[in-house]
Structures are given as structure tokens and as C-alpha cells.
Structure 1
Amino acid sequence: MSVGILGAGAFGTALGIVLAQAGREVTLWAREGAAEMDAARENTRRLPGHALPEGLRVTASVDEAAGADTILLSVPMQKLRDVVDDHGAVLRDRALVACCKGFELRSTLGPAGVLAEVLPGTPQAILTGPSFAHDIAAGLPTALTLACADGALAARLQADLATPTVRLYRTEDVTGAELGGALKNVIAIACGAAMGAGLGESARAALMTRGFAEMNRMATKLGAAPGTLAGLSGFGDLALTCTSEGSRNYRYGLSLGRGAAWSSSDTVEGAPTARAVADRARALGVEMPITGAVVALLDGRLALGEAMDMLLSRPLREE
């Protein structure tokens, strides 16, 4: 069984490592530096300290990676449409598994919506859940959600992509799974900002809890199954992302709270996702005050203290 991975960031590389160690033939497409990575047998830029196994080949050719049985799309959410559109001729009718989280800013669609719009009818799934690339690459135990509306395809992908250290649970609720993966990044920014400003663990716990309520309101409005966000793709990912500096979104929030600079080279999916979610929530009439406060912080319309005052001054109500 062969796997092609488009995107040699930390997560794509980590998946390539663990799949190759489990005996799959893996071809990893790197937009830049493929020859150097293959020669060094390590992704020194994005995932240093983890050797690439013999079964993992790095290539600069999308066509080579796309010749595999299953294609993992491990590119940033805001780049997904361009990659799939540019290489649609070789990706069409392949089983595509999106490994990115978030909403596209220009369309407010998630990865499933983007794939359906660019390559209608192409088999697709989403791989999401609580996971850090360095944990996966190190062989530490991880559990993820594989969401696919086609039950037979989901079962095949689950068997093909599970490894001794990466356990996959499948669901047919694609909407719920992609919403959980996207929305938790916004709440992670809020939690990081609160911790960076020294507001304490209790404030973070409150933001996580009320943020989870926001996530469920949006998911229910869009037709997700009520229990999906209580699983790995929602609550599990929220717990990890809002409590660990291994999360870029949480670290970005910390920098906002501390008034520190942030490197523009580090992808923070939660920032454009927050804006897309806020737009979609307004159109749907869904109340999402934490998301709105994050967008106001990002746009410089509110200082952190003002954002917290806004949230705390909301009308008292039942939980």
C-alpha cells in the first residue's frame, strides 16, 4: 500500500515517518528543498531531530506523490485550494485525505467544502484530532479522527493509515469533524492571550468551557451530529491546543497577551479562521462572543483588557 503526502511541513513529515515505519511506501512532496531533505534524511527546517526512514522518499514532483493509492493533503488551509486547483489533473478521482484545519478566508469553507468545490465527485476524507507532529514522529501514542461520508472508503482508509502508534477512529460526520478542528484554534488563541496577559488558569478554564459552547452552537447550526464535538476532533483537540505551548495558535495568543512580536513564517491557522468564522456566524445568526473578541484583538480594534471587559460584561444568564 502506498501513500503520497503533499506538504513537507512538520505534520506531513511526521505522518510520512510513522507510516513508512509501519511498512507503507511513502512519497513526500516538498515544494522547496526536496533534494536537500532527501540527502540529509531529515527535515531540518520543520521537524529537526527525526530521521526519515528508508521507506520514505522525498520528491519535488507532485506527479510522483500523486501516483500513490492514497493522497494526504498536509498543506496550510489557506493554500489548499491553490494546491488542489493547480494539480487537479493528477489528483482527480484519487482518495484525498485533508490533514489541514480551519476555514478558508475567502469562501468560509472548510477543507471538505474546498475539495468538493474544486474537484467535485472525488473521494475525500478528513484526518483531524489532538496531535503534535513531534509526538507522532517520536512514536508516542496518538488517537485521531478520520471523517468520511462514504463508510466503505472510511473503513479502507482507516485500515491503510492506522499504525501501531497512531490509532484512528472513524466517523461519517465530516461537518462536525472539520468544525471541531477549525474552531478550537480560535479558542486556543483566546486562551493563550489570557495566559500571556497573566489572567490565570481559572480564566483559561472559563474560556475553554464557554469556547466549547460556541463551537457546539456553530456545529449544531450547520448540521453536525451533537456528539461529534465531544470526541477527539472537538473536545480532545481543544484540550490539547489550549493548554500546551506545542500549539502555534496557543503560542500566538501568548504573544498577543504579552505584547510580543510573532514570526510571520510560522503558520497560525486560527487567525484567518477566526475572521472566516465570525463572518459565517453573523450570516447564520450564531452568537460567538469569544470568536468576535479574538477578531477584534487581531484587527487592533480592542486591547486585551477591553476584550475581557466586553466578555465579562455580557448579560448574566443560565449556563
Structure 2
Amino acid sequence: MNVTVLGGGSWGTTVASLTTARNPTVLWARDGDVAREVNDEHTNSKYLPDHRLPRRLRATDDLEKAVADADLLIVGVPSKGFRSVLEEVQRWVRPWIPVVSLTKGIERGSLLRMTQIVEELLPGHPAAALTGPNLAREIMAGQAAASVIATGDLSVAVALQSVLRHKLFRVYTNHDVIGCEVGGALKNVIAIAAGIAEGLGVGDNTRAAVITRGLAELTRLGVAMGAEAQTLSGLAGMGDLIATCISPQSRNRTVGEQLGKGRSLEEILSEMHMVAEGVGTAVTTLELAERYGVELPICQEIYKVVMGEERPIDAYRGLAQPGHEAEPG
């Protein structure tokens, strides 16, 4: 099976490194220098410093060349560029091949999940999402990790599972695509909140409360959108949330931590090579909350912070205000 991974960032490169163990894999990088380094040096120093890549992994910055012979297409570009890349590959992608999204975000404007964009632009192609607590550098270092491949057709999920799993990287199947994608997107917003707590030095009790109530928020919205609550208590929800909120490797947690230390969002983002999806998702989450009539107090406070309407310290004072919620027993 010929596998193509679109996106030469840390996670796209990591997934390509996993799949190339069993199947010929091509990594498409928009940056020609990244593609050349992967081919010549077997490294990706911009996104995965200090890690060697498999020698058999090949890379290109030619999108047509990357896509034309693919039997499986894996898309790991940021949500803001997801649609435009798929619009480009429409003319070259072979009929009926599965398309797997690695992207954890919601499209601005349309409020579509990534698999919905796949279904819109590439009808007839099985659409799936790979999601879970997957920190790229830990997986590249050979540490154990687990993920979820979500698609409505479990026979397709099982086939994809066999392609994606490798050594200590374990892949579970799930039919609840909505729950898996909502959990993956919203946890980035909560991670910003957890990072702000770290930056402000408000303590572990506060961080634990934010993470726990954050799980309640993403579950509330997910269920309103048609997800199963059980999904949000698993790897794609709670697991991903914990990893993203506590790890210094998390881009979204890092954004929050720097905000908590008083730096501006513009300054923080200008120094980052990779996209922190939670910044944009803070906006789309509030729009989804309004559409589905659910209350998301933590997400609302983070929205105010990223929009410059509120200081991080004031956001935490806002979270301390009396609310209407009762902790489930």
C-alpha cells in the first residue's frame, strides 16, 4: 500500500515515520528545504530536532507527485489550510481511497469538522480521524502511546488500524467520529486555560479543577452535537486533554503559560514554528456553543483572552464566579 502524508510538521512527520515501517510512504512538505532534509539527512530539524527519521521515508514538495499514486491519504496540515490543500489534491487523488485527518480543529466560518470537509470535497472517499494523547516527540523516542482511528465504517477502521499501528504505538477503533473530533479540537482551548494557570502560578488544585471542568465542557458540547459521552471519557477526550494540559511539549499549553506570564498573544505566536490550534478553536467553539445552546464558561473566558478583551488574571477571577453547574454524582 502506498501511503501519502500531507504536512511536514512534527505530527505529520511522526505518522509518516510510523507508516513507512510497513508500507512505502511519501511525506509532502510545503517547504522544499524540509523535504530535501528528510531525503538527504533523514532528519526534520525544524519540527523534530534531535530525532532520526527512517531512511526509507521519502519526501517531496510536489503535491501532485505525492498524491497521484496514493492508496491511503493522511492529512496533517493545520485547520486553516485544510480545505485549500484538499481543493488542490482533488484533481490527482485516486477514486475511493480512504482519507485520514490528523488535524484537531474546527474550520472558521463553516464550523465544519475536518472529516466533514473531506466528505464535502472528496465524496466517495471514506473519511476518518486519528486522534488521542499523541505527543510527537515521545512517540519518535519510542515511548508507548495509544491513539484512536474513528470512522463510521468499522471495517475501514480495522484496515486503517493495521496500517497505523507500530511497535509501542497502539491504535484503537471507534465509530463515534463526532466525539473524537470534538474532543481533539476543544481540548486545545482547555489546554490554553491550563497553561495560563501554570503561568500565573495559581497552583495544582486550580489546574486540576480547570482540566476536570474542561472535560465537562467538551463533553457537553460533544453530546449536543451528536457525540457519545463515553467517547469523551476515553483516549480521544480525557486522554488527549490530560496530555495536552500537562505536557511542556504542548503548543497550546505553552501559549497559555506565556499569556499567564504577561506576554502578548501576537509576540508568542510570532515565535512559534507550529500552529497552536486552540487559538482559532476558541472562536469556533463559542460559535458552536451558541448554535447548540450550551454553556461553556471556561471556553468563554479563553475566548475573551485570545480576543484581547480580558487579561489572563481576570479570566481566572471570572472562572471563580458562582455558576449554575452541579457536579455529577
Instruction: Report what 2:300 is aligned to.
Output: 292
- Number of residues of Structure 1 aligned to a counterpart in Structure 2: 318
- 1:23 to 2:25 alignment: no
Structure 1 contact 27–64 (Cα < 8 Å) conserved: no
Partner-residue secondary structure (3-state), 1:23: coil
Cα distance between partner residues in 2 of 1:42 and 1:122: 32
How far apart in 2 are the matches of 1:140 and 1:304? 34
* Equivalent position of 1:73 in the other structure: 75
User: Alignment partner of 1:131: what SS?
Assistant: coil
Deviation at 1:40? 1.9
Q: Deviations over 1:251-282 (max 9, x none)?
A: 00001100124142431100101100101101
- TM-score using structure 2 length: 0.93
Which residue of structure 1 aligns with residue 38 of structure 2?
Answer: 37
Counterpart among 111, 118, 131 of residue 134 in structure 2: 131
Corresponding residue for 1:5?
5
Whether the aligned pair in 2 keeps the contact of 1:19 and 1:26 (CA below 8 Å) is: yes
Once residues 279 and 22 of structure 2 are traced to their aligned partners in structure 1, the CA distance between those partners, rounded to angstroms, is 37
The equivalent of 2:323 in structure 1 is 315
1:302 aligns with 2:303: no
Distance 1:86 1:285 in 2: 36
1:230 aligns with 2:233: yes
Q: Which digits, 9 at most, give the CA deviation of each residue in 1:47-103, with x for residues without a partner? A: 122222122111122223222221110111111111001111223532110001011
| Stretch moving more, 142-151 or 256-265 | 256-265
Q: In structure 1, which of residues 155, 159, 174 is the aligned counterpart of residue 158 of structure 2?
A: 155
Cα distance in 2 for residues equivalent to 1:224 and 1:208: 20
Give the letter for the 2:79 counterpart: M
Cα RMSD, aligned residues only: 1.4
Q: Percent identity?
A: 39
Q: 2:260 aligns with which of 245, 257, 269?
A: 257
Q: Structure 1 length normalisation: TM-score?
A: 0.96
**Higher alpha-carbon deviation: 159-168 or 287-296:** 159-168
1: CA distance between counterparts of 2:185 and 2:41? Answer: 34
Q: Contact conserved, 1:149 with 1:172, CA < 8 A, in 2?
A: yes
CA contact (8 A) 1:24 1:55 kept: no
Question: Which residue does 2:55 correspond to in 1?
Answer: 54
Alignment correspondent of 2:64: 63
Moved more, 266-275 or 254-263: 254-263
Counterpart residue type for residue 28 of structure 2: W
Deviation of 1:316 after TM superposition, in Å, equals: 5.7
CA–CA distance in 1 between the matches of 2:87 and 2:168? Answer: 33
Aligned-partner SS, 2:91: helix
Comparing 134-143 and 180-189, the one that deviates more:
134-143
Deviation at 1:197, TM superposition (A): 0.8
Shift of 1:317: 4.6
Q: Could you tell me which runs of 5 or more consecutive residues in structure 2 were left unpaired when the two chains were aligned.
A: none
What is the identity, as a one-letter code, of the residue corresponding to 1:24?
N
* Structure 1 portions without partners, runs of 5+: none
SS at match of 2:246: coil
Q: 1:146 aligns with which of 146, 149, 162?
A: 149
Contact 1:146–1:154, Cα closer than 8 Å, also in 2: yes
SS of aligned partner of 2:146: strand
Q: Could you tell me how far 1:115 is from its partner in structure 2?
A: 1.2
Answer yes or no: is 1:270 the counterpart of 2:278.
yes
2:170 matched to 1:167? yes
Contact 1:15 1:137 in 2 (8 A): no
Alignment of 1:79-228 (within 5 A): 79-91=81-93, 93-228=96-231
The equivalent residue for 1:14 is 14
Alpha-carbon distance, 1:25 to partner = 1.0
1:181: Cα distance to partner? Answer: 0.3
Q: Which amino acid aligns with 2:159?
A: R
